[in-house]
Structure 1
Amino acid sequence: MGRQANKLKVEECNEIILSEFSKFKEKRPIFEIPLKNFLMSSFAVFALKSPSLLQFENQLKEHKIRMHNLNSLFKIDRVPSDTHLRDILETVEYNQYRPLFQRLFSYIQRSKTLEQFEFMKINGQSHYLLATDGSGYFRSEKLVCDCCMIEEHFDENNKMTLKFGHNILAGSIVHPDLKQVIPMCPEPIMRLDGSSKNDSEQTAFRRFLADFKREHPKLKIIFLLDALYANGPIIKLLREYGYEFLIAVKETKSLLFL
C-alpha cells in the first residue's frame, strides 16, 4: 500500500499561485474581470475536482460551490462564464506559467517534501525518478488554430481526413511507494511561430531537457521513458546532460547495447 508524502499547506500553495498569476501580462485594454480571476478560477476547477468548466459554473449557480468559499480559498471575486473563461485562457502565453512551477518546486524543497521522493543514492548523491510522456488534450476535424498539429487520416477507401490537435509533454517526479507526484512545467507539442511543420514529442523533449537543466542544474534525475526514446540521439543527449535513464523497450524492438 502506498504511503502519503508530507502534506503541504494549502494556504501557502494558493498564495504562491495567486502571487504568480498576478504577474501575468494582461492583453485586454479594457476588462471587468482581472486576468488573475480567470486563472484562479481555472485552478479552482481542478482543486475542487469539478469534472469540467461548465459543471463548475453550474455547481456555482446551484450553490453547490459557495462564492464565499471561492473567495476565502482562492481570492476569486467574480467567476467568469465557461465560454468567457475558455476564450481568455487561450490567449495566455504558456511560458508565463514557468515561474509558477519554479516557485512551487522551491517551496516543496524548503518544506523537505522532496526528500521523501528520493529513489536511490548513486555515489552518495540523492537521485529522483522523473517520468515523462506525451499526451493529447485537444482534437477536432473542424476547429483549427495556427499552432494546431495537423494529422492525415485515411479510411478503408483511402479517403483522407485532416485532424487538428494540441499535444503536450508532461513530466513528474514520482516514487513507487508514494501516491502523490510532483509535476514539472509541461512542454507544448505544437507548431510554433507560424511554422508549417508539425512539432514532435522528441523535439519537445529536447526543449524540456534544456529548460529543466537550466532551472534545476544540481538535481540528480533518473528519467523514465517509453520506447519512443530508445534511440541513439536521445540517449546521447541524456548522457551529455548527466542524467541517468530507464527506457522501456518492446520485446520486438532491437536491443540497444550501450
Structure 2
Amino acid sequence: MADRTLSPRTRRFLSADALFKLLRNRFEAVQDDRKDANVTYPLVDVMMSALAMFVFKDPSLLAFEDRKDDPSLKSIFNIKKIPSDSQMREILDPVDVEHLNEAFADIFAELQRGGVLKSFRYLDGGYLLAIDGTGFFSSSKICCPSCLVKKSKDGKTKYAHQGVAAVLIHPERSEVIPLAIEPIIKQDGETKNDCERNATRRLLKRIKKQHPKLKLTVTEDGLASNAPHIADLEEFGYHYILGAKPGDHKHLFDQVIDAGDDSQLHSIRTAKIDQKGSYRETQWAKQLPLNKSNPDVLVNYVGQADLTSDGNIKSMFSWVTDHAVTRATVLQIAAGGRCRWRIENETFNTLKNQGYNFEHNYGHGTQNLSTVLMLLMMLAFLIDQVQQACCPLFQAVLSKLGSRRSLWFRLRSAVDSFIFRSYREILEALLSDRCRYRFLPP
C-alpha cells in the first residue's frame, strides 16, 4: 500500500490520471475513417499512445517505439496495443484536429469546477489572455500540401507549419493555461501580418464558441494594435491591452506628446523597485486616436519606464487599451501588458528548451500529422501546468528534483525499470526514492 503521508491530496478530478481519462473520453469521439472494421490499433489507443509519448517527453517516435510493450504505459493510459512509429504516423495523419481543440475546453471546464482559476482572476473579475504566433515545423526539403511556403531573398524555399496560441496568464502566477491553438493555413495570406491576423480571428471565434460567458482581456504585441484587429476584439466582446511602439504608431505618440503639453498626460511614480534605487514611472492619457487613418478609433494610452536612480532609462513599454485607466487601475493594466511575455517564456520557451522537444519533427505526413502531434504535445503541456498549479505531490517532486528536465528523465527511468499502475504511483515512488538506492535481490 502506498504511503499516503508522502502524497498530499489534490482534487481527484484534476490529477494527471483523471485528466488522462478525460482526454481518452474525448478521443473516443474522434471519427475513424479507416474502412477495415477489424483494425489492429483502435484510433483512441493510437492517440493515447502519442499523448503518452509527450507526457514522458520521449525525444522521438523511434525512442518511444522501444517502449511500446511497456506494461506501465498500457496501464496508465489504458492502452491495449501501442503502435510502431510508422503505424502511428499513418493512422494519425488524417485525423480531424477539431476534437483536439475541444479537449482544451474539457480540461478548462475541470479547472473551473475545481476553483483553480480563481487565482487567475484579473481586472473586473475576468481573465488575461495572451495571444501570439509560433512555428512548430520548418524545413527546406520536407513538405506537404498544407505547408506554408516562403521564399527568401536568395531564392531558397522554406516549408513551415505555424500556429497562433492563446493562453491564460496572470502577473503573479508562473503557470499558464493554454486555452486554444489555431493552425495558420496556406490560405491565410502572403505576409506574416495577414497570416496571423486571419488565424487569430478564427481563434477568437473558437474561444467565443467554447466559452461564451468568459470575460477576457486580450494582450498581444504591437502587430495587433491596428484598427481591424481591435474591431474583431470588440465584436467578440473582449477587452484588450496591446503593445504599441513609437516607430509603428507615430501619430499616436504625437498625440501623447500633445496630451503632455495640455496637462492631460497623467503620471505615477513607484519608488525603489530594486536595491539599487531604481524607480518606475507610469503614464497614461485617455481617448487618443489610434492613427490618422482611423481617427474614430479612440484608445487609452499607458506607458511605463524603469529608470536608474539617476534617471537613465533601463526599459520602456507602452500599450493601448480600452480599459478605463485611472490612478487606481493603471498599474494593474501595465502589469497585465508586461506579463504578456509569459506566452513566450513560460509557454514557447518552455516547450522548446525544457524537454518537450517542441521543434523536433516527430512526423510530418501528407495531411494533418504535424498539427495533430503539436496539439497532443500542447495537451501534455497543459496537464503538466495543471499539476504544477494544483497538485502538491507533483510540486513536491519537481522541487525535490530541481528542474523539469530532471523530472522527465526520472519519469522515463522509473517506467523503464518498474511497473506502475498510475502516474500518481510514479510520483510517489520518486518522492520517496523507492526507485533508487535498492540492492538487487541475490
**TM-score, scaled relative to structure 1:** 0.84
- The correspondence for 1:108, drawn from 105, 108, 111, is 111
For residue 82 of structure 1, report the CA deviation from its aligned partner: 2.1
Confirm or deny that 1:32 pairs with 2:40. yes
Contact persistence 2:182–2:202 (CA under 8 A): yes
- The correspondence for 2:86, drawn from 62, 83, 97, is 83
**C-alpha separation between the residues in 1 aligned to 2:54 and 2:72?**
15
| Structure 1 counterpart of 2:128 | 129
Q: How does 1:60-99 map to 2 (within 5 A)?
A: 60=67, 67-99=70-102
Residue correspondences, number:
238
For residue 251 of structure 1, report the CA deviation from its aligned partner: 4.0
**C-alpha separation between the residues in 1 aligned to 2:120 and 2:246?**
30
Q: Which has the larger radius of gyration?
A: 2
| Structure 2 counterpart of 1:17 | 23
Structure with higher helix content = 2
| Structure 2 counterpart of 1:228 | 223
For residue 49 of structure 1, report the CA deviation from its aligned partner: 2.4
Q: Deviations over 1:72-96 (max 9, x none)?
A: 2111222222232223222111112
Q: Deviations over 1:58-78 (max 9, x none)?
A: 3x17xxxx7221122111222
Contact persistence 1:133–1:170 (CA under 8 A): yes
Q: CA distance change for structure 1 residues 253 and 196 in 2, over 3 Å: closer, same or farther?
A: closer
Q: CA distance change for structure 1 residues 196 and 208 in 2, over 3 Å: closer, same or farther?
A: closer
Contact persistence 2:189–2:195 (CA under 8 A): no
For residue 53 of structure 1, report the CA deviation from its aligned partner: 2.5
Q: Give 2:156's aligned amino acid.
A: T
Q: Deviations over 1:11-55 (max 9, x none)?
A: 221111001111111121232111111111111122122233232
Q: Deviations over 1:155-178 (max 9, x none)?
A: 2xxxx1222221111111112222
**C-alpha separation between the residues in 1 aligned to 2:102 and 2:91?**
20
Q: Percent identity?
A: 34
For residue 196 of structure 1, report the CA deviation from its aligned partner: 9.5
5+ residue gaps, structure 2, are 1-9, 253-289, 291-297, 300-442
**C-alpha separation between the residues in 2 aligned to 1:251 and 1:52?**
44
Q: Give 2:25's aligned amino acid.
A: S
| Structure 1 counterpart of 2:51 | 43
Q: Deviations over 1:188-232 (max 9, x none)?
A: 10126xx99787111000111111112211111111101111111
**C-alpha separation between the residues in 1 aligned to 2:171 and 2:65?**
36
| Structure 2 counterpart of 1:237 | 232
Contact persistence 1:97–1:185 (CA under 8 A): no
Q: Which has the higher contact order (CA 8 A, sep 6+)?
A: 2
**TM-score, scaled relative to structure 2:** 0.51
- SS of the equivalent of 1:96 reads helix
**C-alpha separation between the residues in 2 aligned to 1:144 and 1:196?**
18
**C-alpha separation between the residues in 1 aligned to 2:224 and 2:231?**
11
Confirm or deny that 1:165 pairs with 2:160. yes
5+ residue gaps, structure 1, are 1-5
| Structure 2 counterpart of 1:3 | none
- SS of the equivalent of 1:181 reads strand
Q: Considering only aligned residues, what root-mean-square deviation do their CA atoms show, in Å? A: 2.2
**C-alpha separation between the residues in 1 aligned to 2:129 and 2:207?**
11
